[in-house]
Amino acid sequence: MAVIRLHLTLIGMAGDRKELIVDAQKPLLLTALLDRLGVPQEEVGIIVRNRKRDEIDCMIHDEDVVELFPILTGG
């Protein structure tokens, strides 16, 4: 199982879910997971997989821990 943690505004986009446990025995494309959650890919700014930065098109494997942060804007 893989752990997906959502932060800040992404939580509301995913139906108020902060953390998900997903079956990743068969690798799963992060973009496909985001589609299932209803989180627009363009809203995800930072992806950290197993404590290292990664890309939106990364594969999620069993035992991965993925942290998703929104794009931060401001002035």
pLDDT value, residue 36:
92
- Going by C-alpha positions, the residue among 5, 38, 35, 36 that lies closest to residue 20 is 5
Neighbours of 24 (CB within 10 A): 19
pLDDT value, residue 75:
64
- Going by C-alpha positions, the residue among 56, 42, 50, 21 that lies closest to residue 67 is 50
pLDDT in tens, 11-26: 999 999 999 999 999 9
- Helical (H) or strand (E) element with 24: none
Domains delineated in the chain: 2-70 (3.10.20.30)
The angle subtended at Cα 31 by Cα 28 and Cα 32, nearest 5°, is 55
pLDDT value, residue 66:
98
pLDDT value, residue 54:
98
Kindly give the parts of the chain with pLDDT less than 70. 75
Sequential DSSP letters for 10-22: HHHHTTS-SEEEE
Task: State what percent of residues in the chain have pLDDT above 90.
Answer: 95
